[in-house]
Structure 1
Amino acid sequence: MYRQLWLALILSTTLSLVGGFLASTLGARVYLEEQLRLKNNDTAAALALSLSRGGVDAIEMELSAAALFDSGYFQSIRILDPKGAVIVERVAAQVQDSAPQWFVSSLPIVAQPGVANITDGWKQLGTVVLSSQTSHAYKTLWAATKELMAALFFAGLLGGYLGTLILRRLKGPLAKVIEQARGISERRFFTTPEPKVPELRQLVAAMNSSVVRLKSMFDEEARRLEAVRQEVNYDPLTGLANRDYFMARLRAALETEEGPGGQLFLIRIAHLAEINRRLGRESTDALLQTAGKTIEEFGTGLPDALVARLNGADFALMVPGQWDALAMGDELLQKLIDGSRAFLQNEPIAFIGTGAFHPQHAMGELLTQVDSAMASAEATGVNNLREAVSHSDDGPSSAEQWGRQIEHALDNALTKIALFPVVDFSGQLIHRESALRLMLTPGSPWLPAGRFLPAAERIGMTAKLDLAVVKLGLAELEKDPQLPGVAINLSGHSIHEPAFCQKLLALLTTQPSASKRLWLEVPEYGALAYLPAFRNFCQQLAGSGCRLGIEHFGNQFSHIGKLHDLGLDYLKIDASFIRDIQDNQGNQVFLKGLTNIVHNIGMKVFAEGVISQQEVDMLATLGFDGITGPVVK
């Protein structure tokens, strides 16, 4: 559109200038021709009159014609007798015109010669035929033409400047409309201010109205689905996650090999049955709500923590990452004691058991260990915290040691990626997910990401690891041109670092063809925790050809409205919603609505951690686009 407007402006200006130039130049030529004609006539008449008064004398004629001719303004002077014979003739040599030859050839000046009769009374004695030089006329016309061209050129510049101002006034609103339309096509919905130009104002108002309606529909459906998710997965009394949802999340954390591990706390409210008999159901419920709120507030400040009510008196807290479990447990226990003083005085409030877990940790074994620790605390009869015996670990004992080992592995190329298929329901490969492996020393076992990522996050090394795995992924794509894609998991900490995106873009620029088959995904918690950085990350990578997505999605579904303007290509739904989906009608309704929303804004939906054919069959009916997990070979 801009080019067309510019072309129209240039064409109209050019036509105006050319038309004005031709009209002015041709008019000037006609004027000069007329002036030459009048001069010829006047001079011829004056010469004839002079000769008529002097009598008919050949010498006089010769002298008069010569005197006039020598002035240099005439091309030829002829005096003819009544019969047409030449009496006197003067013809000037061809004068080199000061104007260019092409100009002279293009605009010939042709002036009628002056003709006057020499008479003696009523008797005609001869005829004067006189033609002026045209070189002076061409000089005058050329000078006038140059001045006209300069004036028209200046007028053209002025017109171009004014046109630029007009286009600039249109370009800003048009650019915003184009960006808004492009945003809708890229699944980003935003409104723009209405411009002052009436036509554009109507267009922008219509676009904004469409965007508002789309967002309204999106938000309304999201609220409905969030209500379904809350009803299915949350305890109605405390508003915390229920047992089934917590166990599904815990199982997903244990089965995800690149997961960070973490700390599990089991909390039991002391002597709940006796409290219920003594205080009544209403006060007991209030106590449970207070305890649940205390634990929830404690978990709010912990990254991706999950708080649940497992049964009547038991609560659970899962905190991903590495923590000082005893210090954290002591703080939680004190908060529970302080929060319950309105209900109980000088009585035990809670018993807490805690234990660390890591990827591939057997779920039954973990629960048994932590439950035993909680039972040990309960056996003391007072508010108490006990820690389960942790597994021995032959890796580095501190974050600093991990940092040195990770640096050594990166410097010596002791890294690789394992690839796992993501397929559609016909078995067609969509892409392969990558999982980073690291070897501490040559010949030692390859460690999964869950072993070293928590330490890497604590010491700020995730950006280096993410860039390393992107290089490995690009190398894999270059090696196998038939591979449809490789998905790389990026840490939320990495995208929060300002230099990471620039380094990533520079890396993608070196391999543009492979980059178009690269899938980059960020965990849901990381994307929402660093939302401004993630939004900037998506905007900067919009033209790279990579596909962008969020993995482990669904646990913070209430925040989905914050993702509508990011231009994402796909979501991977957390395995906690997928486990035994064939038997969970509430999650079926939730996932069916989720896939409808996501498809309506142009994204794909994949299921993580699928382990059975029954789950595969159900996911196909719910509208998923693909699956990954142990069931996919």
Structure 2
Amino acid sequence: MRNAASSAPGPGLRSPLARISRVDGRARTHATEPGMSLIARVRLLVVVLALTGLCGALAISLPAQRDALHAQMSAHDRDTVTLLALLIGHGMPEQAALVETADGLIANGHYREILVRSDGRLVIEHRDATQPRVPVWFTRALALQVQPSVATLHRDDQPAASVAVASDASASIERLWRETRALTLWFAIGALLTCVALGPLLRRLLRPLDAVRAQADALVERRFTQVATPGTVDFVPLIDAMNTLARRAEQRIAADAERIEALDHLVAHDELTGLPNRPRFLELLDAALELDEGSRARRGSLAVLRVADLAGLNRSLGRNGADKLLVDIAARLRGVAAAAPGRVAARLNGSDFVVLAPDLKRPKKLTDEITHAISALRALHGDGLMHRLPVGAAEYATGEPRARLLARLDGALAASEHTGWGDARIVDDDSVLPARTDLAGWRDALLAALDRDQVRLELFPVLSTRGALLYMEGPTRVLIDDLWYGADAFVPWAERLGLTPRLDLAALRLGLKRIDEERVPVGIHVSATSMREAGFVDALRGELQAHPDAAARLWLELPEQGVVRDLAAFRALCLATRPFGCRIGIEHAGREFGQLGGLHDVGLNYIKIDAGFIGNLAANQDKRDFVVRICDLGHAIGLQVIAEGVDHADDLAALGEIGVDGVTGSAVRLPEAEQP
């Protein structure tokens, strides 16, 4: 279903660029898990460097110390073996004396073994099997082996005795092990102290990056901050680039905001007179007619003024003269509206102006004020002017259907035109129908229509810009009191009564039936209220399962404003319908389009640009640029872009040049060959 009033532009128009910045923020849901921090990486690097340095130091120092010890012990062994050889050579002492000498050497000189042979027999053998108190792997890795030093004594040129001495390396190996442990400990302490000190130091050095991150978060939230230039020169290019980006984004969004604000006013107001236009006035009228539950009906007055034979005035006064007349009339009516709070003056179309006065219960008072204000224009435009300005007025009560009120007002205007003298006519107060001025009346009427299947679809074509049929759009109509009411009349009441899910399901069944019968794609309007009902989504899935072939040709569209208010419910609806091949779209789009960029991945297929952006597009460059931007953004995320409310042929041609994918409106006609 569609609420026509929701298509009118409102004061909440916001820049799509600003919305996209928020979408960019939502896109981070796909980011990977955070990895190791920079401080942890640097600390790991310090540990690796410390281990590398330790291994390098040990690889250089241990072999050098081992070789030095080997040379020292070899020299020590040679001296000892020479001493023993001299003792023996000056006269073979007693064996007891030699043993005593060997024991002394071993006790004081750390010898592993001393062997003395004489005449082929072993005279002295002393061995020390002490093992170094170090890990076996260290001993093996050090590989410190000292070969025994041997001296041979001759007698009559014949070998008489031999002496062999080998130093004990255990003490040296233990000393090297202690030095290695001390070196390792110092490296570990140094690495630990460095890692501890790196934390505060790096945090201090990386403060500019924290500021940049805060600046980026502020950009997402549309806050534009500047970061001071840091002392670390490596960060200066990054800081300068981010500051430049923030300044440019601020300037761009400020310019867009001004442009969108101007476009918002332009879309909601008449370009010539500056008064609110028809869509904007209908929004205000709907708000005035709304009846709060439990409150008494309020009454007010509504008057319409028509510039009769405007085409003739254009010919007689010229374009500029006719425009001046319209501007003068608008100024006088604006003065009438400014006389009391809550009043509104608007221009409905080229020749019709309207004044809403909630403060006046008697329409006669309003018509008198209008007639008095307009009479001041006689001096400017001639005495015959009043005959060209018929005025009709009506009393209204809150809760009265807008369509019925406007029909009564048209009757009053027709009566005023019929007199030909510019006299105001007021519709009979008895025609204010109270039967539908409360919730109970609308509940009975809507339930009766649903029970009697008095619901229908009024189909309108949606064509591609080349004229091919995309689908038949089917707004819902409900029969009440022998009148077919459009969605703008009954949807507000149905939402308050909780009946929109039933009405939407009834429209869905009619659409699926039409598809099954005629094999033509049909588009159904779904209200945001129904979307949020879990039971509705389940019932919708059941209907689609019952008509799988028709479901593949079904187009479902929801109002942009309702979707933006509950993106989670819209995602759930998209996920529920995606298996059936339905096409999901958003109607009345444009004001909140930036928030919809992240929805194409759940099944969003198309958007329909609000009619407020389409009217008079061919002659309005601001509107044209805005629609071009919407098309570019929509196509960038793979969406079809359709323009709604195309009422003029020149706008239709301009939309084809812009690059929209489809159009609908009174200027769009289905070729006979395509008619279902």
Question: Smaller-chain TM-score range?
Answer: 0.5 to 0.7
CA distance 1:226–1:418, change in 2 (3 Å): closer
Determine the C-alpha separation between the residues in 2 that align with 1:455 and 1:20: 81
Letter in 2 for 1:234: E
Match of 2:59 in 1: 26
* Aligned counterparts, 1:17-416, within 5 A: 17-27=50-60, 29-30=62-63, 33=66, 36-37=69-70, 40=73, 44=77, 57=93, 58-65=95-102, 76-79=112-115, 88=124, 95=131, 98-99=134-135, 101=137, 107-110=141-144, 126=163, 128-133=165-170, 136=174, 139-140=177-178, 143-144=181-182, 147=185, 150-151=188-189, 154=192, 157-158=195-196, 161=199, 165=203, 169=207, 171-173=209-211, 175=213, 191-194=224-227, 196=230, 197-212=235-250, 214-215=252-253, 218=256, 233-236=270-273, 239-241=274-276, 245-246=277-278, 266-268=302-304, 287-293=332-338, 297-298=342-343, 307-308=346-347, 314-317=353-356, 330=361, 351-354=393-396, 367-372=406-411, 386=429, 388-390=431-433, 397=440
Structure 2 SS opposite 1:234 = coil
Letter in 2 for 1:627: V
Answer whether contact 1:249 1:575 (CA < 8 A) is retained.
Answer: no
Structure 2 SS opposite 1:330 = coil
Report the TM-score when normalising by structure 2: 0.54
Answer whether contact 1:81 1:126 (CA < 8 A) is retained.
Answer: yes
Q: Which runs of 5+ in 1 are unaligned?
A: 255-262, 271-279, 300-305, 318-325, 410-414, 440-445, 529-533, 549-568
Deviation at 1:425, TM superposition (A): 2.8
Q: Deviations over 1:133-174 (max 9, x none)?
A: 276357536644763574366357437746863686365355
Q: Deviations over 1:389-432 (max 9, x none)?
A: 459669962688899x89x99xxxxx999999866435789899
Determine the C-alpha separation between the residues in 2 that align with 1:46 and 1:333: 140
Moved more, 332-341 or 3-12: 332-341
Deviation at 1:130, TM superposition (A): 1.3
Determine the C-alpha separation between the residues in 2 that align with 1:217 and 1:59: 113
CA distance 1:456–1:593, change in 2 (3 Å): same
CA distance 1:284–1:136, change in 2 (3 Å): closer
Answer whether contact 1:77 1:91 (CA < 8 A) is retained.
Answer: yes
Determine the C-alpha separation between the residues in 2 that align with 1:333 and 1:92: 134
Determine the C-alpha separation between the residues in 2 that align with 1:230 and 1:198: 47
Structure 2 SS opposite 1:194 = coil
Determine the C-alpha separation between the residues in 2 that align with 1:625 and 1:208: 35
Match of 1:551 in 2: none
Letter in 2 for 1:489: L
Match of 2:465 in 1: 425
Letter in 1 for 2:440: S
Q: Deviations over 1:79-135 (max 9, x none)?
A: 46799998655556695875364x665x4343656869899xxxx985633141276
User: Identity percentage over the alignment?
Assistant: 15
**Structure with higher RCO (Cα < 8 A, 6+ apart):** 2
CA distance 1:624–1:230, change in 2 (3 Å): same
Q: Deviations over 1:545-597 (max 9, x none)?
A: 3588xxxxxxxxxxxxxxxxxxxx98633335656x6xx8535x454232334
CA distance 1:64–1:388, change in 2 (3 Å): farther
Answer whether contact 1:610 1:631 (CA < 8 A) is retained.
Answer: no
Q: Deviations over 1:162-205 (max 9, x none)?
A: 68636863653554677799x7xxxx977453354412211113
Answer whether contact 2:613 2:627 (CA < 8 A) is retained.
Answer: no
CA distance 1:482–1:400, change in 2 (3 Å): closer
Match of 2:532 in 1: 467
Match of 2:657 in 1: 621
CA distance 1:19–1:49, change in 2 (3 Å): same
CA distance 1:46–1:388, change in 2 (3 Å): farther
Determine the C-alpha separation between the residues in 2 that align with 1:466 and 1:267: 38
Determine the C-alpha separation between the residues in 2 that align with 1:368 and 1:427: 35
Determine the C-alpha separation between the residues in 2 that align with 1:434 and 1:138: 94
Letter in 2 for 1:545: D
Moved more, 40-49 or 622-631: 40-49
Deviation at 1:620, TM superposition (A): 0.5
Deviation at 1:631, TM superposition (A): 4.7
Determine the C-alpha separation between the residues in 2 that align with 1:178 and 1:12: 29
Answer whether contact 2:348 2:354 (CA < 8 A) is retained.
Answer: yes
Answer whether contact 1:422 1:429 (CA < 8 A) is retained.
Answer: yes
Match of 1:572 in 2: 608
Deviation at 1:607, TM superposition (A): 0.5
Match of 1:594 in 2: 626
Answer whether contact 2:300 2:359 (CA < 8 A) is retained.
Answer: no
Letter in 2 for 1:330: K
Of the three residues 545, 555, 574, the one matched with 2:601 is 545
Determine the C-alpha separation between the residues in 1 that align with 2:462 and 2:136: 77
Structure 2 SS opposite 1:211 = helix
Answer whether contact 2:114 2:125 (CA < 8 A) is retained.
Answer: yes
CA distance 1:14–1:83, change in 2 (3 Å): farther
CA distance 1:152–1:230, change in 2 (3 Å): same
Q: Deviations over 1:473-493 (max 9, x none)?
A: 788999689969965425747
Structure 1 SS opposite 2:361 = helix
- Figure out how many residues of one structure are paired with residues of the other and give that number: 527
CA distance 1:382–1:85, change in 2 (3 Å): farther
Structure 1 SS opposite 2:532 = helix
Determine the C-alpha separation between the residues in 1 that align with 2:43 and 2:579: 42
Answer whether contact 2:340 2:359 (CA < 8 A) is retained.
Answer: no
Determine the C-alpha separation between the residues in 2 that align with 1:467 and 1:546: 17
Deviation at 1:370, TM superposition (A): 2.0
CA distance 1:283–1:366, change in 2 (3 Å): closer
CA distance 1:136–1:235, change in 2 (3 Å): same
CA distance 1:28–1:590, change in 2 (3 Å): closer
Of the three residues 558, 566, 572, the one matched with 1:489 is 558
Answer whether contact 1:463 1:494 (CA < 8 A) is retained.
Answer: yes
Q: Deviations over 1:287-322 (max 9, x none)?
A: 4331244589545xxxxxx933668894245xxxxx
Determine the C-alpha separation between the residues in 2 that align with 1:296 and 1:311: 26
Determine the C-alpha separation between the residues in 1 that align with 2:416 and 2:217: 61
Determine the C-alpha separation between the residues in 1 that align with 2:133 and 2:464: 84
Between Structure 1 and Structure 2, whose CA radius of gyration is higher?
A: 2
Deviation at 1:608, TM superposition (A): 0.9
Determine the C-alpha separation between the residues in 1 that align with 2:78 and 2:207: 64
Q: Which runs of 5+ in 2 are unaligned?
A: 1-31, 154-160, 287-298, 307-324, 376-390, 501-526
Structure 1 SS opposite 2:113 = strand
CA distance 1:517–1:433, change in 2 (3 Å): same
Determine the C-alpha separation between the residues in 1 that align with 2:550 and 2:58: 67
Structure 1 SS opposite 2:465 = coil
Moved more, 477-486 or 210-219: 477-486
